[in-house]
């Protein structure tokens, strides 16, 4: 499994951890978030709050599924039709959007933690920040096989700026 697929499935897992409780049991999530400070009791959640919780849960699950499909981690065609090393044309854009989502979620969780000192926001920050960093790493270094030499296996983007490659210079002089 390549790095892009690992990121895709990790993002799907994180979205599922957040989305499934919102879809299955929105009253509990709403109850945890709406504790009355004066009496220490939970007020019942309204139908609108349940609707928005379930809607957010479905959106998180859909975002996770679309991430897996558009990055090519789960191929939509048979292996006979496409080469195995072909990368999805939508992978970079999908990783960029989900990385921005995880980054904004991490920032929001950190800001809410500083405001409320609730442990759940620190956990949300940790997961989102880790996936934002992983996504940024995938954008910078992952999934780019086009610049690897088929003959030598070396990266074609490297240069010998501070150090010279004496072996390559010897071969050029000999005409090899």
Per-residue model confidence as pLDDT tens digits over 133-163:
999 999 988 765 556 666 776 666 666 666 6
The model carries a pTM of 0.74
DSSP string for 80-144:
TTS-TTPPPTTHHHHHHHHHHHHHHHHHHHHHHHHHH--HHHHHHHHHHHHHHHHHHHHHHHSS-
**Measured between alpha carbons, how far apart are the two ends of the chain, in Å?**
37
- Give the H or E element holding residue 47: helix 47-70
- Pick the closest to residue 20 from 77, 64, 70, 78 (CA basis): 64
Assess whether pLDDT exceeds 70 at residue 122: yes
Report d(CA 124, CA 138) in Å as an integer: 21
| pLDDT per position as a tens digit, 18-42 | 999 989 988 777 666 665 556 666 6
- Give residue-wise pLDDT tens across range 71-114: 888 877 765 555 555 667 888 999 999 999 999 999 999 999 99
* Residue 159 vs residue 59, higher pLDDT: 59
More confident site: 154 or 49 = 49
User: What does the pLDDT read at residue 148?
Assistant: 65
d(Cα 109, Cα 90) in Å, to the nearest integer?
A: 28
Q: Helix 47-70 and helix 3-24: axis angle, to 10°?
A: 160
Higher pLDDT, 63 or 32: 63
Which range (85-89, 103-107, 121-125, 169-173) has the least confidence? 85-89
| Predicted pLDDT at 61 | 95
What pLDDT shows up at residue 3? Answer: 87
Going by pLDDT thresholds of 50, 70 and 90, the confidence category of residue 67 is very high
């Amino acid at each position: 499994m390549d790095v892009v697929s690992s990121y895709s499935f990790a993002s799907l897992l994180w979205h599922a951890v957040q989305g499934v409780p919102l879809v299955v049991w929105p009253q509990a999530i709403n109850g945890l978030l709406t504790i009355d400070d004066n009496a220490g009791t939970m007020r019942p959640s309204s139908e609108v709050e349940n609707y928005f919780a379930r809607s957010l849960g479905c959106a998180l699950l859909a975002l996770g599924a679309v991430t897996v499909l558009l990055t090519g981690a789960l191929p939509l065609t048979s292996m006979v039709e496409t080469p195995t090393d072909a990368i999805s044309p939508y992978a970079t854009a999908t990783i960029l959007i989900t990385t921005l989502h995880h980054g904004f979620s991490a920032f929001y969780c950190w800001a809410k933690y500083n405001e409320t000192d609730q442990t759940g926001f620190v956990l949300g920050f940790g997961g989102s920040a880790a996936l934002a960093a992983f996504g940024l790493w995938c954008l910078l270094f992952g999934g780019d096989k086009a610049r690897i030499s088929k003959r030598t296996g070396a990266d074609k983007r490297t240069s010998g700026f501070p150090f010279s490659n004496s072996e390559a210079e010897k071969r050029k002089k000999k005409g090899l």
